[in-house]
Each structure stands twice: as structure tokens, then as C-alpha cells.
């Protein structure tokens, strides 16, 4: 019973990160607003694209681990990946972003990812 939920949540999280990465690559300024720290109007978009590449690659890596290495390996991947949204939350707070974005988006994500890991360990 836990197996479909474990795989489903992992798949959803991996795809979500992939979509966020694609948005940073395709619409970097809009994605930055959604992240919680708007980009400077004349700033270098390369850094936003770097975030997009990081997120898209993380999503693809998660999908590959899930597909080819299985639930246990994906669980460990999720444990490690949980640090990313935690770091994102701290970045948002440090750079004047809203507490709503830091806690409502990034900290919630940092809490959900270990739940996914726990489900995968039980699968």
C-alpha cells in the first residue's frame, strides 16, 4: 500500500523540480519572483539560468535514480536533496525575500522531501 504512494510522491517531487528548473531557463525573471527574491532588472540572467540548470538536472537525476536504481537509492537521494530547499529558504531570508516564500515554499518543501524519503525506505 505504501509503495504506490512512495513512488508517486517521489515522481511528483522530481517532476516538480524539473519544471521549476525549466521555468528558470525559459522565464528566469518570473521564476525568480516565484522563488521569493526578485531579480534585479538589469542584473545578469546567467545566475538565474544556473539555478534553472541545477534544478532541472536535479529533477532528471531523481527520475533516473528512481527508474534505474529503485526506491532505496531514491530515498537516499531525497535525504541529500532535502538540503537544497532548506538552503533556498535561507537564501530568500538573507536577501530580503518574504518570510511567506521562505517558510511557505522552501521550508515546506524541505519538510516534504524527507517524508518522501521515509516512504521510499518503507517501500
State the CB neighbour count (10 A cutoff) for residue 39.
17
Position 48 scores a pLDDT of: 94
Position 118 scores a pLDDT of: 97
Position 107 scores a pLDDT of: 96
pTM for this entry: 0.93
Position 44 scores a pLDDT of: 83
Residue 97 lies in domain = 2-122
Quote the number of domains for the chain.
1
What are the average pLDDT values for consecutive 10-residue runs of the chain, which has 123 residues? 92 98 96 93 89 97 98 98 96 96 96 97 95
Query: Exposure of 114 by Cβ count < 10 A (0-12 exposed, 13-18 middle, 19+ buried)?
Result: middle
How wide is the angle at C-alpha 42 spanned by C-alphas 107 and 40, nearest 5°? 20
Amino acid at each position: 500500500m505504501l509503495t504506490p504512494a512512495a513512488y508517486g510522491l517521489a515522481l511528483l517531487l522530481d517532476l516538480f523540480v524539473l519544471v521549476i528548473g525549466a521555468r528558470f531557463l525559459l522565464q528566469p525573471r518570473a521564476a525568480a519572483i516565484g522563488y521569493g527574491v526578485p531579480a534585479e532588472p538589469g542584473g545578469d540572467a546567467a545566475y538565474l539560468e544556473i539555478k534553472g540548470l541545477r534544478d532541472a538536472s536535479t529533477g532528471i537525476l531523481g527520475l533516473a535514480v528512481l527508474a534505474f536504481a529503485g526506491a532505496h537509492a531514491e530515498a537516499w537521494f531525497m535525504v541529500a536533496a532535502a538540503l537544497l530547499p532548506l538552503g533556498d529558504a535561507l537564501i530568500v531570508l538573507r536577501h530580503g525575500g518574504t518570510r511567506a516564500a521562505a517558510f511557505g515554499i522552501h521550508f515546506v518543501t524541505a519538510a516534504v522531501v524527507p517524508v518522501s524519503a521515509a516512504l521510499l525506505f518503507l517501500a
